[in-house]
Homo-oligomer: A and B are copies of this chain.
């Protein structure tokens, strides 16, 4: 059985079509070949997209799957009329019932990023990314009062990717600060953080997993040894408990899962919800 071709069709970036389509496809144990068709925002481009979709249908002898988030009426009409693939018109399915429920007509407007350079939300998001970069790995103590979240944990517990994700996806200013042997000897959180305890969130990790991750970088080092990883993790967790800060284990979690949990627990004020 050849892989099924899947198109993600959108008048914008197609990111929503792709995320949604992939989540649905994860429910099926089948091989797929993915093709992005973004920025299909004119009838001309719709006809081009149709040719590509229908060509696959002919040459592969099975209908490609087409996840669409098209909103432009004219473009949608071209696709609906001529598409030989299995069209999953994800928006249309819900827009009409919502028009009824809300008692207003939908705008049929493309994408949510139009005039992005004028948007406050977008501006804040870029600021958050810059902040998180400048405050990665305890690089700077400056301006921690404007941080929304400060992640703490031992080296390679997942702080950097999580901070960047929180900034990129949620516009949060997320600093991160390593817990190091000096802190363990002093038996206290890094002094710069003591004033911001309510914004702290700890990341911990299984020592075996940590040793694996560190060994990729510095094989055979004391830093990566299981013994040292056990000690650091145990000291770090003891410190988080003593300090009463919330924390979680990242061992089997994705960045997305870690970030979602932090948002649930910390309810950062700047977040819209």
* Chain A positions near chain B (C-beta within 8 angstroms): 4, 12-16, 19-20, 22-24, 26-30, 33-36, 38-39, 63, 65, 69, 71, 86, 88, 90-91, 93-95, 97-99, 101-102, 104, 106-109, 111-113, 115-117, 122, 126, 129-130, 133, 136, 160-161, 164-165, 168, 209, 251-257, 259-261, 263-264, 272-273
Q: Which residue of the partner chain, among B33, B99, B253, contacts A116 with CB atoms under 8 Å?
A: B253
| Assembly CA distance A117 to B252 (angstroms) | 5
- What 3 pairs across the A-B complex have the smallest Cβ distances? A113-B254, A27-B106, A34-B273
| Assembly CA distance A218 to B26 (angstroms) | 48
Q: Shortest Cβ distance from A110 into chain B, in angstroms? A: 10
Q: Which residues of B contact A252 (CB under 8 A)?
A: 115-117
| Given A34-B272, A272-B34: A256 and B24 interface contact (C-beta under 8 Å) | no
Q: Which residue of the partner chain, among B4, B15, B209, contacts A102 with CB atoms under 8 Å?
A: B4
CB atoms of A209 and B20 under 8 A apart: no
